[in-house]
Amino acid sequence: MSNYEFQEKLIGFGKSKKLKIKQRKKHINPIPTFDDDYNFDGLDEVMEEIGWSLKEGENIFLVGPPGVGKTTLIEQVASLLDWGLIQASCSANMSEKDIFGKWILTKEGMEFLPDFGLLGYRKGMIVVFNEFDALTPEVIFSMHDNLLSTDSQYLAFSRINQNNKPVSVKIKRNHNYRFVATANTTGRGDDLQLYHGTNIQNEATLDRMTVIKMDYHPEPTEIKILVIRARIDEDIAKKMVRVANECRSIQDRIGFIFSLRKLILWGKWYRRIGLERATQKLYSGLSEVDAEQVSNLIKDPQSFNAIIEPE
């Protein structure tokens, strides 16, 4: 399906009475720039699920290996729909204040300064929580009845000011607000021990989101992406993608994730410094055992036969 066809399909979702997106020229919120080189091939089912969830106002939990383009895909969807987007990378140190905002003392008195989650809630943006499973369950609990609630209409915050009097602020939900989380795990743990720093999430949290799984792109698509992004010949790109897929097939035996991001970087290194040095850089962050297995795959004639050094 072409980018134009995807745009037509997504705009069709926008014609729902539940979804009224402003035109780009009138939109005051940050809209991601559309990437003309972005390849939607093989993403039909994922795009359909995302489009339906946006239309229905369902919270999205986009799960997949690192580097497959989860956040980038949401950005491209937002761009196609002229939809404002705001995002943040989560960590175990992120608190409610980092999501909702905080009270500050000004010359006029106490003032509530909203952060990214509340800004998106009020202005009708897609709010993206990247690495969502890095958040602690306790912090996520604070979002259950507001940012993660499809029925929430208002958010209210109050406190005692410097004169010992109560002050409060009430923020209305914009009907275009949408919640999107991305992560490498589904929030139920990391069986392969590859994603340290992630947390097991409460079932009540997971119950509030529609899980959409995004896997590696089909081999022909990755080859196209590698040719464009790394600017290398198609024959070399085919061999590199073949090695990456071989590594992924033994993922349960090695502590190495051959992401699309790493594949593109390997291709760029190859173009700049040649195969031998590029491959050394690829090994540099691996254990000796993993480096040996990847090395054997690259030397395998079935995977990387008759490699040609760049001119």
What is the DSSP-derived secondary structure letter of residue 136? Answer: -
Whether 38 and 137 share a structural domain: yes
Confidence band, pLDDT 50/70/90 cuts, at residue 19:
very low
- Decide which of 77 and 255 is more confident: 77
Helix locations, 109-207, DSSP H: 116-123, 137-141, 203-206
pLDDT, position 42: 85
- Decide which of 24 and 71 is more confident: 71
Whether 149 and 287 share a structural domain: no
Whether 209 and 290 share a structural domain: no
Instruction: Report the alpha-carbon angle 173-70-146, nearest 5.
Output: 20
Contact at 8 Å (CB) between 81 and 10?
Answer: yes
Confidence band, pLDDT 50/70/90 cuts, at residue 155:
confident
Residue 120 scores a pLDDT above 90? yes
Confidence band, pLDDT 50/70/90 cuts, at residue 225:
very high
Whether 127 and 38 share a structural domain: yes
What is the arithmetic mean of pLDDT over 24-38? 71
Whether 148 and 243 share a structural domain: no
Q: How many helices (H) and strands (E) does the chain have?
A: 13, 9
Confidence band, pLDDT 50/70/90 cuts, at residue 179:
very high
The length of the chain is 311
Whether 157 and 237 share a structural domain: no
pLDDT, position 250: 80
Whether 179 and 280 share a structural domain: no
Residue 25 scores a pLDDT above 50? no
Tell me the percentage of the chain whose pLDDT exceeds 90. Answer: 41
Residue 189 scores a pLDDT above 70? no
Which CATH number goes with the domain that contains 48? 3.40.50.300
- Residue 276 covered by a domain: yes
Point out the least confidently predicted range of 66-80, 243-257, 266-280: 243-257
- Residue 181 covered by a domain: yes
Residue 197 scores a pLDDT above 60? no
Whether 87 and 235 share a structural domain: no
Query: What pTM was estimated for this model as a whole?
Result: 0.81
Tell me the percentage of the chain whose pLDDT exceeds 70. Answer: 80
- Decide which of 253 and 190 is more confident: 253
- 3-class DSSP string for 45-81: HHHHHHHHHHHHCCCEEEECCCCCCHHHHHHHHHHHC
Query: Which of 268, 251, 259 minimizes the C-alpha distance to 222?
Result: 259
> Which structural domain, as residue segments, surrounds residue 250?
219-304
Whether 206 and 240 share a structural domain: no
Residues of the chain by 3-state class (helix, strand, coil), percent to 5: 45, 15, 40
- Decide which of 217 and 195 is more confident: 217
What is the arithmetic mean of pLDDT over 134-162? 85
- Residue 139 covered by a domain: yes
- Residue 310 covered by a domain: no
pLDDT, position 257: 81
- Residue 130 covered by a domain: yes
Confidence band, pLDDT 50/70/90 cuts, at residue 235:
very high
Domain count, the chain: 2
- How does the average pLDDT of the chain come out, rounded? 82
Residue 121 scores a pLDDT above 90? yes
Last residue of a domain, one of 213, 243, 261: 213
- Residue 176 covered by a domain: yes
Residue 6 scores a pLDDT above 70? no
Which strands, in side-by-side order, build the sheet including 210-213?
A: 85-89, 126-130, 178-183, 60-63, 210-213
What is the arithmetic mean of pLDDT over 107-122? 87
Whether 46 and 147 share a structural domain: yes
Whether 112 and 133 share a structural domain: yes
- Residue 309 covered by a domain: no
Residue 102 scores a pLDDT above 50? yes
Last residue of a domain, one of 213, 238, 270: 213
Whether 204 and 231 share a structural domain: no
Last residue of a domain, one of 180, 197, 213: 213
- Residue 311 covered by a domain: no
